[in-house]
């Protein structure tokens, strides 16, 4: 299949402002793709070569891509740099320069998707001495053979900036239509995706083997399971009501969620976004290899930074500092961490995700040797308000942000990829005005004035509506940013900039600049109020009105561990609004 097909498709996707059209375009593309390469087309469309959990990066820096463009177009590196400064998008720069490029080579052949994919794969796998030059050579060959439009997308893919803003679940929708003839089969695709986190694999199997084969998918070591998440609860009474009178209460630790996959002496650690973060945590790898007694296991826990002198837990920010330190050894020493386990998804070859929680927890305890740096999360079965309150107070006293409560009923299975009521989080603050933070997606920006001229005065931010798969605006946020942060915002967000409102963004306001919904930040406000201008929960409180955050402020926390679909949802905002009214 010709690469020009995919390039045309990307161009149409970028031009559309309607979400439904986006799905139709995807269905067309998938239907026309030869089935053997459907996985490659799916990965490329997500801007990658492999699923997120495979720790292979293309490793092409902006600088290297610029060198390649300059070489192929026969211009100087300085020309490319200047153009980039002006335009801000290296893909567009490549397209413009390539329009003037020298004649194609003598043995010119139009690019196929297979060639592009294979060459990119080769680029990604080059490592060690001489790899930079080798990458440059491969990339330049591609750019030479590509049309200007194709080069635009090749460049965006290699520098990690192909941001079409298509949700994984939209791809599943389109695959269901293209290969099973109906959206109704999506739940089968969704389950397969939730337990493998591999869109390309799901696509390949449904396209070549059909639905039945997807139904046989099993949880496997090495493929992260999409994590089960919690809803909010606002009182012990509500907890007991939702949990059927009895449940497991646990400390809610403020660290980083980890899904740990062990196979003999090999351990892989996946983050909440299912990225492979093993290399950041050699200490946790060592502890789990030594103290998980099962040969094969998938377990989950929360990693927290600790003060080794006092054994106290330290706040999340402390753990995140690890990322900023250069050497891992140094990071481990400066910011020691430990792991508190709370769930088991697989032990040896037994898939436990369909088992009730008490059984999973019991099995976890059986295979965990507790030590100084590896423990089970403190848990207690509670069945009355006083017990919950007592446990909650103890949690706060021990430096936790609150408690998690989990169903222990017969149906308390591990619901991969879902945020249901089988797990609830309970923090004291929900009881009063808005003191809990929310995670919002940056969808637009307004240019600053006066002191802020040249940078952004405010960002337009949105929450996620999972029913319509769109982003609804909830406020403009302009406070809480440090001066340096403010200054660097245009640069940070430059590569997400698009010429018109993204088709998945629902906004009554017109921003000066629009972005592909991608970046998530944490904000807090004074309260949630009824709003004429924002589209979050439109019509819920009053006709034509939505819900907005009053006096929003950036907390300083970039939620890079969350994708846009993992931002706070409209439904959660409605619940918080109801709580606040009480």
Q: Alpha helices, DSSP H only, in 88-185?
A: 90-98, 113-125, 131-145, 148-158, 168-180
User: Min. distance of Cβ 465 from ligand ATP in angstroms?
Assistant: 16
Which one among 139, 177, 201, 377 touches ligand ATP, defined by CB under 6 A?
377
Q: What x-and-dash track marks residues 384-423 binding ligand ATP by CB under 6 A?
A: --------------------x-------------------
338 binds ligand ATP (CB under 6 A): no
> Site for ligand ATP (CB under 6 A): how many residues?
14
User: Min. distance of Cβ 425 from ligand ATP in angstroms?
Assistant: 5
Instruction: Choose between 46 and 271: whose C-beta lies nearer to ligand ATP.
Output: 271
257 binds ligand ATP (CB under 6 A): yes
CA pair distance 441, 353, nearest whole angstrom = 31
Q: Alpha helices, DSSP H only, in 148-231?
A: 148-158, 168-180, 186-196, 199-208, 211-215
302 binds ligand ATP (CB under 6 A): yes
Sign of the CA dihedral with 568 first, then 470, 412, and 288 last: negative
Which one among 71, 75, 230, 396 touches ligand ATP, defined by CB under 6 A?
230
CA pair distance 446, 244, nearest whole angstrom = 48
Instruction: Choose between 251 and 514: whose C-beta lies nearer to ligand ATP.
Output: 251
514 binds ligand ATP (CB under 6 A): no
Q: Cα-flanking dihedrals φ and ψ of residue 461, to 5°? A: -125, 160
CA pair distance 442, 56, nearest whole angstrom = 27
Q: Which residue's C-beta sits nearest to ligand ATP?
A: 257
Q: Give the footprint of ligand ATP on residues 259-288 (CB under 6 A).
A: 272
Catalytic residue among 252, 355, 472, 562, which? 252
Which one among 145, 190, 198, 250 touches ligand ATP, defined by CB under 6 A?
250
Q: Whose structure tokens read 């592909």?
A: 516
CA pair distance 112, 6, nearest whole angstrom = 10
Which one among 342, 357, 481, 554 touches ligand ATP, defined by CB under 6 A?
342
User: Min. distance of Cβ 578 from ligand ATP in angstroms?
Assistant: 18
Task: Check if 100 is active-site.
Answer: no
Q: Which of 453, 485, 454 is nearest to 558 (CA)?
A: 485
User: Min. distance of Cβ 467 from ligand ATP in angstroms?
Assistant: 18
161 binds ligand ATP (CB under 6 A): no
CA pair distance 514, 518, nearest whole angstrom = 12
Instruction: Choose between 187 and 420: whose C-beta lies nearer to ligand ATP.
Output: 420
CA pair distance 501, 523, nearest whole angstrom = 22
Crossing angle of helices 19-32 and 3-15, rounded to 10°: 170
CA pair distance 405, 240, nearest whole angstrom = 10
The span of 9-17, 111-119, 247-255, 542-550 binding ligand ATP (CB under 6 A) equals: 247-255
CA pair distance 517, 471, nearest whole angstrom = 8
Instruction: Choose between 302 and 506: whose C-beta lies nearer to ligand ATP.
Output: 302
Q: Which of 448, 465, 437, 461 is nearest to 518 (CA)?
A: 461
Instruction: Choose between 30 and 430: whose C-beta lies nearer to ligand ATP.
Output: 430
Which one among 1, 37, 87, 229 touches ligand ATP, defined by CB under 6 A?
229
**Is the separation of the CB atoms in 471 and 463 below 8 Å?**
yes
Active site residues: 252
Contacting residues toward ligand ATP, per CB under 6 A: 229-230, 250-253, 257, 272, 302, 342, 377, 404, 425, 566
């Amino acid at each position: 299949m010709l690469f020009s097909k995919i390039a045309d498709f990307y161009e149409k996707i970028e031009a559309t402002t309607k979400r439904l059209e986006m799905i139709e375009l995807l269905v067309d593309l998938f239907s026309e793709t030869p089935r053997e390469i459907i996985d490659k087309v799916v990965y490329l469309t997500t801007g990658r070569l492999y699923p997120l959990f495979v720790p292979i990066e293309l490793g092409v820096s902006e600088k290297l891509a610029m060198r390649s463009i300059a070489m192929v177009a026969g211009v100087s590196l300085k020309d490319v740099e200047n153009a980039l400064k002006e335009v801000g998008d290296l893909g567009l720069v490549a397209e413009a320069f390539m329009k003037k490029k020298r004649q194609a080579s003598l043995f010119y052949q139009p690019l196929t998707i297979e060639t592009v994919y294979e060459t990119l794969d080769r680029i990604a796998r080059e490592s060690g001495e001489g790899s930079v030059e080798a990458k440059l050579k491969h990339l330049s060959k591609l750019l030479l053979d590509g049309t200007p439009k194709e080069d635009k997308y090749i460049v965006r893919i290699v520098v990690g900036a192909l941001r079409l803003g298509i949700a994984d679940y939209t791809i599943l929708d389109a695959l269901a239509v293209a290969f099973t003839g109906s959206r109704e089969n999506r739940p089968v695709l969704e389950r397969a995706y939730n337990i493998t986190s591999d869109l390309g694999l799901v696509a390949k199997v449904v396209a070549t083997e059909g639905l039945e084969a997807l139904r046989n998918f099993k949880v496997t070591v090495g493929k992260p399971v999409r994590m089960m998440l919690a809803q909010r609860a606002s009182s012990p009474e509500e907890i007991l009501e939702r949990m059927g009178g009895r449940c497991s209460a646990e400390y809610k630790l403020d660290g980083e969620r980890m899904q740990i996959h062990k196979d003999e002496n090999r351990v892989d650690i996946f983050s909440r976004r299912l990225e492979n973060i093993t290399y950041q945590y050699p200490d946790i790898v060592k502890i789990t290899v030594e103290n998980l007694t099962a040969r094969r296991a998938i377990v989950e826990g929360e990693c927290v930074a600790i003060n080794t002198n006092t054994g106290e837990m330290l706040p999340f920010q402390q753990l995140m500092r690890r990322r900023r330190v250069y050497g891992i050894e140094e990071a481990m020493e400066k910011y020691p961490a430990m792991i508190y386990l709370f769930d088991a998804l697989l032990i040896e070859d037994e898939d436990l995700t369909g088992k009730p929680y008490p059984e999973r927890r019991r099995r976890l305890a059986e295979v965990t040797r507790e030590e100084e740096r590896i423990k089970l999360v403190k848990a207690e079965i509670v069945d009355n308000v006083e017990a919950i309150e007592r446990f909650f107070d103890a949690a706060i006293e021990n430096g936790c942000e609150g408690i998690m409560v989990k169903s222990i009923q017969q149906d308390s299975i591990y619901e991969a990829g879902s945020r249901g009521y089988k797990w609830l989080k309970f923090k004291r603050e929900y009881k009063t005005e808005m003191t809990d933070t929310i995670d919002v997606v940056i969808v637009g920006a307004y240019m600053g004035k006066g002191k802020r001229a040249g940078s952004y005065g405010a960002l337009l931010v949105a929450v996620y509506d999972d029913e319509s798969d769109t982003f609804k605006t909830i406020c403009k946020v302009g406070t809480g940013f440090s001066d340096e942060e403010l200054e660097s915002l245009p640069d940070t967000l430059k590569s997400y900039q698009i010429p018109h409102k993204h088709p998945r963004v629902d906004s009554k306001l017109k921003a000066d600049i629009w972005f592909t919904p991608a970046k998530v930040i944490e904000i807090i406000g004074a309260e949630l109020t009824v709003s004429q201008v924002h589209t979050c929960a439109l019509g819920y409180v009053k006709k034509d009105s939505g819900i907005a955050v009053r006096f929003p402020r950036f907390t300083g926390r970039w939620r890079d561990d969350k994708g846009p679909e993992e931002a706070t949802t409209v439904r959660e905002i409605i619940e918080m609004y109801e709580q606040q009214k009480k």
